Structure 1
């Protein structure tokens, strides 16, 4: 469970950092890329969060 929580934290940090880069990017291509990455990391974080919740209810 600790590993999953650590992974969740990493994904959330990556999502927020990519969102920040997207906001600061002056190049449209980079802005779009980092916005897409932020969204993807957010989806992955949500999946890990669901897995953590499911594992907690199974115990």
Structure 2
């Protein structure tokens, strides 16, 4: 369970970092790329959260 939580936190951090880079980028292509990466990471966060809560083998905290 701690591994899943650690991975979840890592994904959240990466989403935040990509969002920040997107906001700071001056190149339009890079801005769009990092915005898309941030969106993808947020999607992964949601999927991992759902997997944690849906799994009967993994106790949720």
TM over 0.5: same fold?
yes
The residue aligned with 2:21 is 21
CA distance in 1, matches of 2:10, 2:28: 26
How does the TM-score come out when normalised to structure 1? 0.91
Give the length in aligned residue pairs: 57
CA RMSD of aligned residues (A): 0.9
Helix, strand or coil for the counterpart of 1:26? Answer: coil
Which structure features the higher share of helix residues? 1
Q: CA deviation at 1:54?
A: 1.1
Unmatched runs of 5 consecutive residues or more in structure 1: none
The residue aligned with 1:36 is 36
How does the TM-score come out when normalised to structure 2? 0.89
| Deviation >6 Å, runs of 4+ | none
Unmatched runs of 5 consecutive residues or more in structure 2: none
